[in-house]
Amino acid sequence: MVGPMGVTRREALAGGVALATGAWGAPSLWLPSRQAAPVVVASANGLTSKNGGTVSCVETAFNLMVSGGDVLDALVEGVAIVESDPEDTSVGYGGLPNAEGTVQLDAAVMHGTRKTAGGVACLEGVRTPAKVASAVMLSTDHHLLVGEGAQKFARQMGFQVEDDLNTERSRKAWLEWKRRSDPEHFPDPRKRGGTEVAMEMAREGWFPIEHVFGTIHANAVGPDGSIAAVTTTSGLAFKIPGRVGDSPILGAGLYADGNVGAAGSTGRGEANLFGLCSFLIVEEMRRGSSPLDAGVFALRRVAEKTEARLKRPDASLAFGLQFYVLDKSGRFAGVSTNPGSFAVCDESGPRLAALEVVR
Ligand code: GLY
């Protein structure tokens, strides 16, 4: 495609000008100032979820940041597509609820270049928790608000607070989970109940298996070299009310350093919380590791620190955990305990790439 100055998209991105508009493949304005190869990396739902429209999270974020938008603002707009999508039962509106049938959301944002961050946990009633996390970052002196305090803050900041974020699909899934699981499972859902029933229902097609611990993480390097990350989730399906996973915790669900790169996660939050792996990955890259090597290092650390009940007889990890890793030069990788894919959007366009499996 040839732009108004007679250069192609690829030439423009390689030569110091950036594309400036909405729809992929239809640039209408050209801006100077490229200092890095822009790229957005996300979990697979960053490409597969479109909320009934035509553009995904990674495309939206890429187009916004090459149009001159801030890298974190672009990511937050991107993940809002997935948060608002009722078909994605792992995030935002229609996310699988907790054990009492209430949708409780966690999210965090981190701007590695501006050195700012914000998060919310156990937030009820707001479809786009990453936007509330962004407001925490921009309008408070704090990094994390939880529960009623987070909801009150969201209301005061002008967010719409709804009574119930369940869809028919998530509500019916919860009712079925309730019917099958032992009502006596509290307070120890590690016995029969909780996650085991959720996995059984996923295998039967009630919701995708990756939505049991489902989440969206996205990170990016903008054309000006700035680096940011966002993670947003409804958390573990049918969790004990009040349970918070890795997603809103800086260093666990995400970490971004403007001089190094960014990392973030989806999957079993408890496994990641134990090792604060996003921070670990960024520190490994600071010491010179590639994104792939740093991600593999973190998964090996998780394996080393995991208790026996969460391992298979062959000692491999019996849960899903993924890391999405990006360095400041735009190199990226996705690593996982299970086969799968992750989303990328760069000058070659949006696509899925294979996760590197570490068992
Ligand atoms: N990784 C999402 C969670 O465990 O809540």
**Domains of the chain as residue ranges with CATH:** 1-33 (no CATH), 39-166+207-357 (3.60.20.30)
Per-residue pLDDT averaged across 175-200, rounded?
A: 71
Q: Where would I find the beta strands (DSSP E) of 165-301? A: 216-221, 227-233, 254-257, 261-267
Question: How would you class 184 by CB atoms within 10 Å of its CB: exposed for 0-12, middle for 13-18, buried for 19 or more?
Answer: exposed
Q: What are phi and psi of 318, to 5 degrees?
A: -95, 25
pLDDT, tens digit, 9 for 90 and up, residues 22-34:
334 433 333 445 6
Look at residues 321, 308, 147 and name the one whose alpha carbon lies nearest to residue 236: 321
For residue 322 and ligand 1, the question of a CB distance below 6 A is answered with no
pTM of the model: 0.88
The residues annotated as belonging to the active site are 215
Please name the residue whose Cα sits nearest to atom 5 of ligand 1. Answer: 235
Reduce the DSSP state of residue 331 to 3 states and report it. Answer: coil
Residue type, 39: V
For residue 247 and ligand 1, the question of a CB distance below 6 A is answered with yes
Distance 172 CA to ligand 1 centre (A): 22
Tell me the percentage of the chain whose pLDDT exceeds 90. 78
Q: Are strands 105-111 and 332-336 parallel, antiparallel or unpaired?
A: unpaired
The pLDDT value given to residue 187: 52
pLDDT, tens digit, 9 for 90 and up, residues 285-336:
999 999 999 999 999 999 999 999 999 999 999 999 999 999 999 999 999 9
Whose tokens are 């006596």? That residue is: 184
For residue 212 and ligand 1, the question of a CB distance below 6 A is answered with no
